[in-house]
């Protein structure tokens, strides 16, 4: 496979939230939501990001689109730093990276009609489209995401969750972005609707050549839509590689444990597969473990894991990168 061009590049992205100490307790808590995450997103590619609650997935999404300023590291869109841009450059960059938010019930202003919601991007970026052509563009967008243009004058509460998410997608598409960050776009939807919305994302990618950063905690959804997958744990990337590599031969113990927790839809196969249950919860990102962050729950952990942090590297460049001193050697999912 030839190296496709990189659209979005995340370099050593770090975001620490400071919970200020009170007057009596001076030492401030630092929540290390993101601690040095790097990846490249190629054109027309979907990068799935999975991980437990609190591992920094949403912070990653918010930082990429500029809702949060990174503590360190850079996000570059075709070489331009997203967070260093100001004024006009910033507006243009903003246009090229859009986000689809998680909760379709609260991510649309309840006081605006669908038409107003879709006109808003053009009111903010007045130079994008002359006023006369905006209505036509809105009709086009609505049809693109599979909604009825006759319903443009309805309010969001008159739509179902899936339809609202389509409105959210249409709004993200309005500015013709290159990259769409999807922050758990389907987790608030019914399972039957999830499939429709995921298929919509795939169709839009084919038609418009979009690149997605697709964040979810549902492994099956991510597997369905992603070309490559990144597994996050406590603000760091544990494993990053092609979908088949990560899913079929996970190298990081955390990935393997995560995958073994996916339910098997076939009752005949149930019980034939070893399931590895991790003990406890992820440690607090305020005070992460030394060395490898996963070592407190890892069954393979040894002394070196507490002292030396394993870097994210790919020993075999054709396979995925992982951050582990004692990687899994064979497909864990087939063992019985």
Residue numbers of the site for another protein (CB under 8 A)? 31, 33, 53-54, 57-59, 62, 65-67, 90-91, 94-95, 98-99, 101-103, 105-111, 120-121, 124-125, 155, 157, 168, 171, 175, 184, 187-188, 217, 284-285
For residue 107, the minimal CB distance to another protein (Å) is: 4
For residue 292, the minimal CB distance to another protein (Å) is: 21
For residue 3, the minimal CB distance to another protein (Å) is: 30
Among 207, 96, 220, which residue's Cα sits nearest to residue 145? Answer: 207
Q: Measured from the CB atom, is 85 or 306 closer to another protein?
A: 85
Q: Measured from the CB atom, is 68 or 245 closer to another protein?
A: 68
For residue 200, the minimal CB distance to another protein (Å) is: 18
Q: Measured from the CB atom, is 181 or 305 closer to another protein?
A: 181
For residue 66, the minimal CB distance to another protein (Å) is: 7
Q: Measured from the CB atom, is 230 or 327 closer to another protein?
A: 230
Q: Measured from the CB atom, is 171 or 297 closer to another protein?
A: 171
């Amino acid at each position: 496979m030839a190296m496709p061009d990189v659209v979005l590049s995340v370099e050593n992205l770090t975001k620490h939230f400071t919970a200020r100490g009170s007057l009596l307790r001076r030492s401030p808590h630092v929540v290390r939501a993101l601690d040095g995450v790097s990846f490249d997103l190629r054109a027309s590619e979907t990068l799935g990001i999975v991980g437990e609650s609190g591992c920094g997935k949403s912070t990653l999404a918010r930082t990429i689109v500029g809702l949060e300023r990174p503590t360190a590291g850079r996000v570059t869109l075709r070489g331009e730093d997203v967070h260093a841009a100001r004024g006009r450059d910033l507006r243009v960059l903003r246009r090229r990276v859009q986000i689809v938010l998680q909760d379709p019930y609260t991510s649309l202003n309840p006081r605006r009609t669908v038409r107003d919601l879709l006109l808003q991007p053009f009111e903010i970026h007045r130079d994008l489209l002359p006023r006369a052509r905006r209505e036509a563009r809105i009709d086009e967008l609505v049809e693109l995401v599979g909604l009825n243009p006759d319903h443009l004058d309805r309010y969001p509460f008159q739509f179902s969750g899936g339809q609202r998410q389509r409105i959210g997608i249409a709004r993200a598409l309005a500015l013709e972005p290159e990259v769409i960050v999807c922050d758990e776009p389907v987790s608030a939807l019914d399972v039957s609707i999830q499939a429709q919305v995921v298929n919509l994302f795939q169709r839009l990618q084919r038609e418009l050549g979009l690149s997605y950063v697709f964040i979810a905690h549902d492994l099956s959804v991510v597997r369905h839509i992603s070309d490559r997958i990144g597994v996050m744990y406590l603000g760091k990337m544990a494993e990053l590689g092609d979908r088949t590599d990560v899913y079929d031969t996970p190298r990081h113990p955390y990935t393997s444990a995560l995958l073994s927790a996916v339910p098997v839809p076939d009752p005949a196969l149930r019980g034939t597969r070893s399931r590895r249950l991790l003990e406890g919860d992820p440690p607090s990102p305020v005070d992460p473990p030394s060395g490898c962050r996963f070592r407190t729950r890892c069954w393979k952990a040894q002394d070196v894991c507490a002292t030396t942090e394993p870097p994210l590297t790919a020993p075999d460049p054709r396979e995925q990168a992982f951050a582990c001193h004692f990687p899994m050697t064979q497909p864990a999912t087939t063992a019985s």
